[in-house]
């Protein structure tokens, strides 16, 4: 867990009273919508189809049980009893009333939660691996660095008025769970030949209208220099970045237009020319932040407790354990993923009751800590293996033990036309139908790892470009149509998917996806060959032929 200091608390409280005053002035007519819009966006408040939408930050995906209970309270008291976990370690409330927002913000501020930098053209919530600090083989806890960057960039004038929004993600593990290659800046923590800790720096990733995978501009920047190096990147961006055209204002476009070598060279020169700008992180500053992350007092526990041996006879438990339980860096403990993707349910939604219950389970089994990942699932990061059987029973009763993590029904979907004022087409009902088609967990197991991502428009909030199967809603003559891509991926081998054929109408999407999956099953050379690997080996053509042959 992370302990906020006095400065943070004061800042959060000041923001709440400031916003309370702004809302009051808006409701009295003293502020017009045009004047108010930029203020509400600075506090995570959007306007959606049916209501205001309120986006709350969950920095690097770490929540305490107390904070989760407070989110449940907000869902119950100010919303319709549920919230939506997003792909950027945020939670969104869909039905909040403007007049009540200051109260909601104030209730959240009491537990150190805020909505700063969740929207607008500023430095957004710095995201990280949801398994940070517990994943085996991790170089070190990447949240320490997320926090150092957050402190430096929060409300810093230079980062508050960028040409466009700016997103940073950090990973410290071999397998990238933070999707760093689709961020404006992606940072991969590693050690160089001398055993020194630092970052591989990637720049220019992003999806949306013009998708790009980030490219490396420097293989190793020592940790102590990371703030000054980011500063150099932002200076180059601010100098060249196009403020005149919002579609071209993201750093990815600049990197593309200058070319990665030239961009890297410019940054390097800027960095050298900057000299010492007081951004070097000394040992004490790093240790100060490190000391504010506390880790549980783990017990010395056996690798294979009796409870686990006995429960292994229960096939339902075993299926769930194999799917949702992952190795922990401490012997005798596990990381447990809680699927927010029940068959037939909206991906990423959790009810207030579920949030409260998860908070209770976290207190009982995970030292009061919960994690939120970009796949729109939750995790309990420190569960003793002996407690797994009891935890499974409790989660199953709550509808949070669907054994589908990373499988075909673990779908990432944006809110789409059911909520979003920018949408072309619906996303969530497509996801729900697909989970029903693949409801049989044996079939899903047989298919293996397969990520489906759905966005309701080209803004790509559902990351469709990097879905193993990507689904994008478009509009044709007032009807909902969907473009389908295959072969994308968001991990360390990130790649954009390839269009498989003409867009299909709403009613046919699930059929086409079923056909794609069937084609894959027929074409894979062995059961272990994952969908993305088959597409990589064969290309799109053989799958396209099979799917469109009968259409």
Partner 1 sequence: MTSPLEQKKIRITGPSMVTANRTWDGAVVYRTAKQGWSTELSDSAIVTTSDEARALLAEATADDVGAVGPYIAPVELKDGGKVKPGNLREHIRAKGVTIDLQVPA
Q: Which residues bind ligand HEM (CB under 6 A)?
A: 46, 48, 53, 86-88, 92, 164-165, 182, 206-208, 250, 414-415, 419-420, 422, 459-461
- Report how far residue 360's alpha carbon sits from residue 65's, in angstroms, rounded to the nearest whole number: 7
Minimum distance between the CB of residue 448 and ligand HEM, rounded to whole angstroms? 24
Q: Checking phi first, is residue 4 left (phi over 0); if not, alpha (psi -120 to 50) or beta? A: beta
By CB under 6 A, tell whether 72 contacts ligand SF4: no
By CB under 6 A, tell whether 416 contacts ligand SF4: yes
Q: Checking phi first, is residue 267 left (phi over 0); if not, alpha (psi -120 to 50) or beta? A: alpha
Minimum distance between the CB of residue 87 and ligand HEM, rounded to whole angstroms? 4
Minimum distance between the CB of residue 462 and ligand SF4, rounded to whole angstroms? 6
CB-based contact 357:365 (threshold 8 Å): no
In the complex, the residues that contact partner 1 under the rule CB under 8 A are 26-29, 32-33, 47-52, 82, 95-99, 342-346, 349, 351, 354, 397-399, 417-419, 421-426, 428-429, 432, 475, 478, 480
Q: In this complex, which beta carbon is closest to partner 1, that of residue 50 or of residue 191?
A: 50
Q: In this complex, which beta carbon is closest to ligand SF4, that of residue 56 or of residue 135?
A: 56
| Partner whose binding site includes residue 311, from partner 1, ligand SF4, ligand HEM, none (CB under 5 to 8 Å by kind) | none
Helix (H) or strand (E) holding 113: none
Q: Which two tokens stand for residue 444?
A: 């899903």
Q: Which two tokens stand for residue 296?
A: 């549980």
In terms of Cα–Cα distance, which of 324, 370, 328 is closest to 350?
A: 370
Q: In this complex, which beta carbon is closest to partner 1, that of residue 249 or of residue 255?
A: 249
Q: In this complex, which beta carbon is closest to ligand HEM, that of residue 85 or of residue 271?
A: 85
- Report how far residue 544's alpha carbon sits from residue 486's, in angstroms, rounded to the nearest whole number: 10
By CB under 6 A, tell whether 483 contacts ligand SF4: no
Q: Which two tokens stand for residue 395?
A: 């989660």
Q: Which string of b and e fits 368-387 if b means at least 16 CB within 10 Å?
A: bbbbbbbbbbbbbbbbbbbb
325-327/333-338 β-pairing: antiparallel
Residue that has been written with the tokens 């509808």 in this structure: 399
What is the DSSP track for 44-70?
A: TEEE-SSSEEEEEE-GGGEEEHHHHHH
In terms of Cα–Cα distance, which of 59, 65, 54 is closest to 88?
A: 59
Minimum distance between the CB of residue 171 and ligand SF4, rounded to whole angstroms? 24
Q: Which two tokens stand for residue 31?
A: 């502020």
- Report how far residue 104's alpha carbon sits from residue 16's, in angstroms, rounded to the nearest whole number: 9
- Give the one residue of 173, 457, 510, 516 binding ligand SF4; rule: CB under 6 A: 457
What is the DSSP track for 392-417?
A: HHHHHHHT---S-TTSTT--EE--GG
| Partner whose binding site includes residue 456, from ligand HEM, partner 1, ligand SF4, none (CB under 5 to 8 Å by kind) | ligand SF4
By CB under 6 A, tell whether 538 contacts ligand SF4: no
Residue that has been written with the tokens 């991926």 in this structure: 489
Minimum distance between the CB of residue 78 and partner 1, rounded to whole angstroms? 11
| Partner whose binding site includes residue 455, from partner 1, ligand SF4, ligand HEM, none (CB under 5 to 8 Å by kind) | ligand SF4
Q: In this complex, which beta carbon is closest to ligand HEM, that of residue 208 or of residue 305?
A: 208
| Partner whose binding site includes residue 92, from partner 1, ligand SF4, ligand HEM, none (CB under 5 to 8 Å by kind) | ligand HEM
| Partner whose binding site includes residue 208, from ligand HEM, partner 1, ligand SF4, none (CB under 5 to 8 Å by kind) | ligand HEM
Give the range of 247-255, 308-316, 420-428, 484-492 binding ligand SF4 by CB under 6 A.
420-428
Near ligand SF4 in 396-415, by CB under 6 A:
414-415
CB-based contact 377:410 (threshold 8 Å): yes
Minimum distance between the CB of residue 353 and partner 1, rounded to whole angstroms? 10
Q: Which two tokens stand for residue 100?
A: 């009540």
| Partner whose binding site includes residue 369, from ligand HEM, partner 1, ligand SF4, none (CB under 5 to 8 Å by kind) | none
Q: In this complex, which beta carbon is closest to ligand HEM, that of residue 341 or of residue 524?
A: 341
- Cβ neighbours of residue 211 under 8 Å, at least 6 residues apart? 182, 460, 465, 496
By the 10 Å C-beta count (0-12 exposed, 13-18 middle, 19+ buried), 216 is classed as: middle
Q: In this complex, which beta carbon is closest to ligand HEM, that of residue 350 or of residue 383?
A: 350
- Give the one residue of 118, 455, 485, 534 binding ligand SF4; rule: CB under 6 A: 455
Size of residue set near ligand SF4 by CB under 6 A: 13
Q: In this complex, which beta carbon is closest to ligand HEM, that of residue 97 or of residue 322?
A: 97
Minimum distance between the CB of residue 346 and ligand HEM, rounded to whole angstroms? 11
CB-based contact 351:37 (threshold 8 Å): no
CB-based contact 124:116 (threshold 8 Å): no
- Report how far residue 500's alpha carbon sits from residue 484's, in angstroms, rounded to the nearest whole number: 6
- Give the one residue of 23, 101, 226, 420 binding ligand SF4; rule: CB under 6 A: 420
Minimum distance between the CB of residue 543 and ligand HEM, rounded to whole angstroms? 26
The total number of residues shown for the chain amounts to 551
Q: In this complex, which beta carbon is closest to ligand SF4, that of residue 104 or of residue 431?
A: 431
The residue ranges that bind ligand SF4 (CB under 6 A) are 414-416, 420, 422-423, 455-457, 459-462
């Amino acid at each position: 867990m992370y302990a906020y200091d006095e400065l943070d608390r004061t800042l959060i409280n000041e923001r709440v009273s400031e916003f309370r005053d702004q809302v009051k002035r808006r409701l009295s007519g003293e502020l017009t919508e045009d004047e108010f819009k930029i203020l509400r966006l600075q506090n995570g408040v959007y306007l959606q189809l049916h209501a205001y939408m309120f986006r709350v930050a969950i920095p690097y995906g770490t929540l305490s049980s107390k904070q989760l209970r407070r989110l449940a309270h907000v869902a119950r008291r100010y919303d319709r009893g549920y919230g939506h976990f997003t792909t950027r370690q945020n939670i969104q409330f869909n039905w909040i009333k403007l007049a009540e927002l200051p109260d909601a913000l104030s209730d959240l501020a009491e537990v150190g939660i805020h909505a700063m930098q969740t929207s607008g053209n500023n430095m957004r919530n710095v995201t990280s691996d949801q398994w940070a600090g517990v994943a085996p083989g991790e170089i070190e806890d990447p949240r320490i660095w997320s926090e150092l960057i957050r402190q430096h960039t929060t409300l810093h004038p230079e980062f508050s008025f960028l040409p466009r929004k700016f997103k940073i993600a950090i990973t410290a593990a071999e397998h990238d769970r933070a999707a760093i290659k689709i961020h404006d800046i992606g940072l991969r923590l590693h050690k160089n030949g001398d055993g020194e800790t630092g970052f591989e720096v990637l720049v220019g990733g992003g999806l949306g209208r013009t998708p790009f995978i980030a490219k490396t501009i420097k293989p190793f920047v020592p940790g102590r220099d990371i703030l000054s190096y980011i500063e150099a990147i932002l200076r180059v961006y601010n100098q060249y970045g196009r403020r005149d055209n919002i579609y071209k204002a993201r750093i990815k476009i600049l990197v593309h237009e200058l070319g990665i070598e030239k961009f890297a060279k410019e940054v390097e020169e800027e960095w050298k020319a900057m000299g010492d700008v007081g951004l070097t992180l000394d040992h004490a500053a790093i240790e100060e932040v490190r000391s504010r992350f506390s880790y549980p007092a783990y017990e010395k526990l056996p690798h294979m407790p009796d409870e686990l041996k006995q429960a292994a006879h229960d096939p339902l438990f075993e299926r769930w354990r194999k799917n949702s339980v992952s190795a922990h860096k401490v012997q005798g403990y596990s990381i447990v993923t809680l699927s927010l993707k029940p068959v037939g349910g909206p991906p990423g939604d959790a009810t207030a009751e579920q949030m409260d219950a998860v908070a209770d389970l976290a207190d009982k089994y995970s030292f009061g800590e919960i994690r939120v990942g970009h796949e729109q699932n939750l995790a309990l990061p420190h569960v003793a293996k002996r407690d797994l059987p009891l935890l499974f029973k409790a989660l199953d009763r709550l509808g949070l033990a669907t054994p589908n993590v990373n499988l075909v029904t673990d779908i990432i979907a944006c809110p789409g036309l059911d909520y979003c004022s920018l949408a072309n087409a619906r996303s969530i009902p497509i996801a729900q139908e697909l989970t029903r088609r693949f409801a049989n967990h044996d079939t899903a197991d047989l298919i293996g790892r397969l990520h489906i991502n759905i966005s309701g428009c080209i803004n790509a909030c559902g990351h469709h470009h990097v879905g193993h199967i990507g689904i994008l809603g478009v509009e044709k003559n007032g009807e909902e149509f969907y473009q389908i891509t295959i072969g994308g991926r968001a991990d360390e081998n990130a790649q954009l998917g390839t269009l498989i054929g003409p867009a299909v109408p709403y009613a046919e999407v699930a059929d086409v996806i079923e056909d794609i999956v069937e084609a894959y099953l027929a074409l894979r050379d062995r059961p272990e060959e994952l969908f993305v690997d088959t597409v990589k080996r064969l290309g799109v053509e053989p799958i396209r032929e099979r799917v469109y042959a009968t259409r």
